[in-house]
Chain A
Amino acid sequence: MYTLQFTATTGCHRRQIASMPTSFITLAIRIIRVASLHADMKYNYCFLAQIITCICLLGACKGNAEPEYNNQFFAFGTIIDITIYGMDKDRASAASGQIEQIFLDIHKSWHAWQESDVTRLNESIESGLPVVLDRDLALLLKKSIGLGIQSEGLFNPAIGKLAELWGFHNDEMPAGSPPDYESIQGFLQTSPDIHSLVLDENKLVQYDRNIQLDFGGIAKGFAIDIAIGHLRDLGINNAIVNAGGDLRVIGRHGNRPWNIGIRSPRGNGILASLSIDGDYSIFTSGDYERFYEYEGKRYHHILDPRTGYPADSMISATVMHTDAATADAAATALFIAGPEHWYSVAREMGIRYVMLVDSDGKIHMNPAMAKKIHFEIEPIPEIALSPPLQ
């Protein structure tokens, strides 16, 4: 009798994990039965051995029982890393393939400098032609206008010309000197403003002809939101979509929350970590992402629309927010806002969790973020806490 039960319980495969609780219940019933039937039996070590086998099984099965699917692909000008929990491999792999296609399509239609819907839109704006947008692009533009206004113009998708002037509209970073002071001042004179864009349904009814749209500060977030929406449609509720370090997390990792590390903006290690349960996007804008150096000075890609130069008071800005598009735009805006101004911009944008590292290495954050974050380095850097956000 015991040999039979042993083979039944020791054949532990991934598929049998689900039946583990059942086997423990049957063991419990057996304990009681054995106890009442064989109370006078001497040295019934089989029973003891069985309990121990069950404990060992629990230990042995735990390590490789996690149904986690992980895949990577190149799309959207970056490496995209998909993690799906609790879904069988075939369905997860099919979902990942579809997400890859979504990213490839979006990237193609929203590219800022290669022939795309966005470059065609910019050409129409420049020549003053009437502009009709497709549904997704109209949504993106609408969201961008809203966020642009909330961020007091710090997130400004209308400064495509400035990015081009700096040479950031290229797969490779520019070499040589930054643009001269006069041409930047010339650009600032035209001051293309997101306010001047008026959208009626999917028609752009009013605009400033100096505007060149560049969705670099939001497109990745928006695409991640579309990808997450698609995963949800497929019935996947526990996943991470990570596009080059900016990510959105839904659900949890089995019986624990997802653990997200935030890389130190200087050096190789992990600065802090967040334990995330539910639906959050984590976006970081940093001066280390895309930059070039000229005569020992670093010029990075996050341009301050007020000065026309790379914003220089921050090293990195990390934002945690539900939707990725907002998190993306907010990370850019707060990076530019700097240590004095970020709090009011974050409030205006409805952001609840912020962590910034300024150029002295000091950390600025709001109390809710301080409560949620766990520092992974010793000693913990100097922290300036802001008043609560909302």
Chain B
Amino acid sequence: MTRPDWLLIIITLAILPMIYERLWRTSGEAEYLVIYTPESGRQQHDLHEDRLIKVAGVLGESVVEVRNGHTRFSKAPCPGKYCMHSGWLTESGHITACLPNRVSIQLAGDMQRFDAINF
């Protein structure tokens, strides 16, 4: 085997992990959470750490729960609680909102599988 042969194999081996990293890292899983309110605009939050995020809306405080890379409204000041009924958001592109409180949450990622979700 010649030197360029070895070089080629070594370089390919070096690039391989990069390809895996780039194409597998996101794998359709959400990368971050976007919380939107008309007052504070779009705020990005990461999904790595399980926690509760408190968001001030027009009616009061909505609580957004982050767990295992998924998210949901776990507490809401609105009377109907539709936002809580809509359950966990699991896919990038998924969006739900508490309309009376004017708070929306969305999962987003650079390589999301869906550009929009119909329901």
| Residue B1, interface by CB 8 Å | no
A261–B95 CB distance below 8 A: no
CB proximity of B35 to chain A, nearest CB, Å: 10
| Residue A227, interface by CB 8 Å | no
Number of A-B contacts (CB under 8 A): 114
Q: Which of A63, A79, A172 touches B22 (beta carbons < 8 Å)?
A: A63
A260–B22 CB distance below 8 A: no
Q: Which of B8, B87, B96, B117 touches A260 (beta carbons < 8 Å)?
A: B117
Q: A43-B3, A245-B118, A260-B116 are in contact. Are A72 and B22 (CB under 8 A)?
A: no
| Residue A151, interface by CB 8 Å | no
Q: B90-119 interface mask toward A, CB cutoff 8 Å, 1 = contact, 0 = none?
A: 110111110110101010101101111111
CB proximity of B77 to chain A, nearest CB, Å: 13
Among A188-196, A208-216, A262-270, which stretch is in contact with chain B?
A262-270
Q: List chain A residues, Cβ under 8 A from B116.
A: 81, 83, 240, 242, 247, 249, 258, 260-261
Instruction: Sort chain B's interface into a size bin.
Output: 35 or more
Instruction: Sort chain A's interface into a size bin.
Output: 35 or more
| Residue B9, interface by CB 8 Å | no
CB proximity of B91 to chain A, nearest CB, Å: 6
B15–A56 CB distance below 8 A: yes
CB proximity of B2 to chain A, nearest CB, Å: 11
Q: How far is the CA of A259 from the CA of B93 in the complex (A)?
A: 10
Q: How far is the CA of A171 from the CA of B82 in the complex (A)?
A: 12
In chain B, positions 1-37 with a C-beta closer than 8 Å to chain A are 3-4, 7-8, 11, 15, 18-19, 22, 34, 36
A260–B3 CB distance below 8 A: no
Q: List chain B residues, Cβ under 8 A from A78.
A: 97, 99
Q: List chain B residues, Cβ under 8 A from A72.
A: 34, 36, 42, 95, 104, 106
Chain B binding surface, main DSSP class: mixed
B113–A259 CB distance below 8 A: yes
Q: Which of B18, B82, B88, B104 touches A268 (beta carbons < 8 Å)?
A: B88
| Residue B76, interface by CB 8 Å | no
Residue of A nearest to B117 (CB): A261
| Residue A205, interface by CB 8 Å | no
Q: A57-95 interface mask toward B, CB cutoff 8 Å, 1 = contact, 0 = none?
A: 001000110100011111001110101000000000000
A284–B118 CB distance below 8 A: yes
B119–A245 CB distance below 8 A: yes
Q: A34-70 interface mask toward B, CB cutoff 8 Å, 1 = contact, 0 = none?
A: 0000000001010010001001100100011010001
CB proximity of B112 to chain A, nearest CB, Å: 8
Residue of A nearest to B37 (CB): A74
Q: List chain B residues, Cβ under 8 A from A66.
A: 110
Q: Which of B15, B42, B99, B110 touches A63 (beta carbons < 8 Å)?
A: B110
Q: How far is the CA of A215 from the CA of B4 in the complex (A)?
A: 71
Q: List chain B residues, Cβ under 8 A from A56.
A: 15, 18
A63–B118 CB distance below 8 A: no
Q: Which of B7, B82, B97, B99 touches A48 (beta carbons < 8 Å)?
A: B7
Q: List chain B residues, Cβ under 8 A from A52.
A: 11, 15
Q: List chain A residues, Cβ under 8 A from B60.
A: none
CB proximity of B26 to chain A, nearest CB, Å: 9
In chain A, positions 238-257 with a C-beta closer than 8 Å to chain B are 240, 242, 244-247, 249, 253
Residue from B38, B87, B97 having most chain A Cβ neighbours under 10 A: B97
| Residue B89, interface by CB 8 Å | yes
CB proximity of B20 to chain A, nearest CB, Å: 12
Pairs A-B, 3 closest by C-beta atoms: A79-B97, A261-B114, A263-B119
Known: A72-B34, A173-B80, A246-B118. 13 other contacts (CB 8 A): A52-B11, A64-B110, A66-B110, A74-B38, A77-B99, A78-B97, A79-B95, A172-B79, A249-B115, A261-B114, A263-B94, A268-B88, A270-B90
What are some 30 contacts across the A-B interface (CB < 8 A)? Answer: A45-B7, A48-B8, A52-B11, A55-B15, A59-B19, A63-B22, A63-B110, A71-B42, A72-B42, A74-B97, A74-B102, A79-B95, A81-B95, A83-B116, A240-B116, A242-B95, A242-B118, A246-B118, A260-B114, A260-B115, A261-B117, A263-B118, A263-B119, A267-B87, A268-B90, A270-B114, A273-B114, A283-B118, A284-B118, A284-B119
